[in-house]
């Protein structure tokens, strides 16, 4: 197999802590790759007026594979205040770099596994009909359309006259026609049939591969009739190509209730962008929280893998670091699985499962402790200790020195010190 180059983007906050830990684990299973560091995030915005510099776009376009940590993201007005003084009033507009990246490379298929590891004290449990409790086995994956919907970025506050004129042609806009421009904000929800077809087909292919009985399309077609309606209509068309797999349809609000009743019934769920985001976070809460939530952003050519947690800046300066690295490590496993290194990916997941089941090493979130500098003294494992436990399960095989570009080497050394 040809050697890979992976673009590593630690980003902001705890992203700089957890991404180097994932690289250690990749080394331990013998994944042979070069790693090249790329800049992304808040410091790029403050210093350059662009949170996703062209140099990072160029690296992703060249190497096609990325591993991403986390970013700090703020509303545009708050972002403007933090620009360097000389960059203010220059017309720079803040956009989330990960959303921009998804749209720039059409990373339209977002895959978010939500899998419960046996022995995780944060797993969902429920009362039995008689006495006692039970812990259902949750093995679910949310397929989220990643580039359209409410995240398409087509928005206005004080929309221009031509936009208002177009909206005025719709009868439902009449109650808003006299609202002053500065007092009205508008977002456009965009669904295209081709993108809907691709995400639904990805969900069905995954269900077929895993021998699951059905796929659930989760939208709100009874209210959001046109866009959710197109998602559901397209799902029915795609389902005809998979006669052995059932298609179920749920509304987003009802689905969240059912997740609290029988989450094990939903192995594969597909949804548009915002609904998929909500669903995957809700599911993550049933299998341990965002410390266990990995994801892949997959396009026709480029794929980027990331934990779904944020940058958690209040924890970023703690020494030793306390955050749970498992979501980042699982994202790295997803990455190598995506490129055909399934045996190595499975070894990583099995090592994580072994550490969790054993229960000797638990980060502060697994102990249900409020995050802070005192959690280590209260029995919580540090970020590094959790990684070491996973490495021990892998046997810590000797590997050749990591071959990285000099910027990547400096970043790795700085964040691993």
Report CA torsion sign: 115, 116, 122, 128: positive
In CATH terms, 1-109+297-417 corresponds, of 3.40.50.360, 3.30.70.100, 3.30.460.80, 3.40.718.10, to 3.40.718.10
pLDDT in tens, 235-254: 999 999 999 999 999 999 99
Please give the radius of gyration of the chain, using alpha carbons only, rounded to the nearest integer. 22
pLDDT in tens, 356-414: 999 999 999 999 999 999 999 999 999 999 999 999 999 974 443 343 343 443 443 34
Question: How many Å apart are CA 153 and CA 366, to the nearest integer?
Answer: 36
pLDDT at 1: 58
Q: What is the mean pLDDT of residues 213-223?
A: 97
Domain residue spans of the chain: 1-109+297-417, 124-151+193-286, 154-187
pLDDT in tens, 198-214: 999 999 999 999 999 99
Asked if residue 51 lies in contact with residue 42, where contact means CB atoms within 8 angstroms, the answer is: yes
pLDDT at 410: 41
Element (H, E) at 152: none
Percentage above 70 pLDDT, the chain: 94
Least confident of 98-112, 116-130, 398-412: 398-412
Asked if residue 219 lies in contact with residue 248, where contact means CB atoms within 8 angstroms, the answer is: no
What does the block give as tokens for 130?
Answer: 């008689």
CA contacts within 13 A on the Cβ side of 61: 8
pLDDT at 77: 86
Question: How many Å apart are CA 38 and CA 98, to the nearest integer?
Answer: 13
pLDDT in tens, 141-178: 999 999 999 999 899 999 999 999 999 999 999 999 99
Residue 118 Cα distances to 125, 353, 354, angstroms? 12, 7, 9
Work out the pLDDT band at 129, boundaries 50, 70, 90: confident
Work out the pLDDT band at 285, boundaries 50, 70, 90: very high
* Averaged pLDDT of the chain: 93
Q: What is the mean pLDDT of residues 113-123?
A: 96
In CATH terms, 124-151+193-286 corresponds, of 3.30.70, 3.40.50, 2.60.40, 1.20.120, to 3.40.50
């Amino acid at each position: 197999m040809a050697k890979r180059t992976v673009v590593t983007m630690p980003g902001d906050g705890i992203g700089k802590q957890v991404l180097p830990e994932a690289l250690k684990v990749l080394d331990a299973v013998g994944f042979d790759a070069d790693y090249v560091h790329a800049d992304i995030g808040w410091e790029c915005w403050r210093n350059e007026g662009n949170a996703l510099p062209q140099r990072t776009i160029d690296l992703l376009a060249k190497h096609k594979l990325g591993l991403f940590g986390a970013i700090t993201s703020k509303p545009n007005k708050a972002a403007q205040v933090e620009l360097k003084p000389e960059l203010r009033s220059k017309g720079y507009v803040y956009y989330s770099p990960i959303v921009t990246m998804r749209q720039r490379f059409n990373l339209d298929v977002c895959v978010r596994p939500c899998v419960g590891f046996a022995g995780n004290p944060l797993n969902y449990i429920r009362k039995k009909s008689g006495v006692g409790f039970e812990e259902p086995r949750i093995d679910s994956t949310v397929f989220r359309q990643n580039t359209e919907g409410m995240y398409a970025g087509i928005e206005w506050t004080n929309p221009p006259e031509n936009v208002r004129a177009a909206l005025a042609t719709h009868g439902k806009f009449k109650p808003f026609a006299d609202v002053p421009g500065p007092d009205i904000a508008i977002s456009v929800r965009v669904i295209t049939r081709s993108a809907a077809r691709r995400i639904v087909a990805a969900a069905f292919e995954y269900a077929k591969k895993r021998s699951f009985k059905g796929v659930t399309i989760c939208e709100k077609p009874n209210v959001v009739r046109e866009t959710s309606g197109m998602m559901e209509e397209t799902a029915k068309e795609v389902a005809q190509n998979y006669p052995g797999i059932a298609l179920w349809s749920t509304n987003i609000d009802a689905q969240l209730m059912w997740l609290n009743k029988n989450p094990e019934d939903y192995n594969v769920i597909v949804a548009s962008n915002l609904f998929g985001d909500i669903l995957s976070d809700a599911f993550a809460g049933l299998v341990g929280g965002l410390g266990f939530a990995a994801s892949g952003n997959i396009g026709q050519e480029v794929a980027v893998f990331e934990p779904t947690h944020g940058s958690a800046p209040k924890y970023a300066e703690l020494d030793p670091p306390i955050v749970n690295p498992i979501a980042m490590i699982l994202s790295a496993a997803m990455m190598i699985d995506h490129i055909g290194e399934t045996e190595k990916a499975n070894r990583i997941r099995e090592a994580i499962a072994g550490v969790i089941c054993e229960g000797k090493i638990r980060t502060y979130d697994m102990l249900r402790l409020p995050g802070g500098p005192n959690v280590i003294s209260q029995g919580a494992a540090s970020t590094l200790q959790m990684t070491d436990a996973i490495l021990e399960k892998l046997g810590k095989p000797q590997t050749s020195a990591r071959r990285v570009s000099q910027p990547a080497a400096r970043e790795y050394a700085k964040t691993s010190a």
